Structure 1
């Protein structure tokens, strides 16, 4: 009976965890590939400046999608 009454509340309970862990898995699998491509194709002197751009790029991505992720009420 409780499943009928409250089942709709838990229909999407695993979506957040699934998305979170998919992001971690994607980062851990693509990170070494991208790093290897950079190491093979870019001079070592460019590594620090290239990786210095990662945080501002992540911030811009967050700023561009924050309203979509958190809703328009924020």
Structure 2
């Protein structure tokens, strides 16, 4: 994975991020598997904007064991 720096922060994120909005109908096991796949492939940026709180909860559960390895972003619009 190629990484880029976020200006003057010391944060390095992969050029590929994990956009999770489409996971509304996924089980916790499926979310866990997707998060693990991302980690195995050095994805460390999670775009976590979604209106369904169950998706946020599932993602939170999935990244909890390795929370320090993830950068989470949200967006408006």
- Taking structure 1 as the reference length, what is the TM-score of the superposition? 0.30
Task: Give the structure, 1 or 2, with the largest relative contact order (CA under 8 Å, sep 6 or more).
Answer: 2
- Taking structure 2 as the reference length, what is the TM-score of the superposition? 0.29
Between structures 1 and 2, the one with greater strand share: 2
Report the structure number with the largest CA radius of gyration. Answer: 1
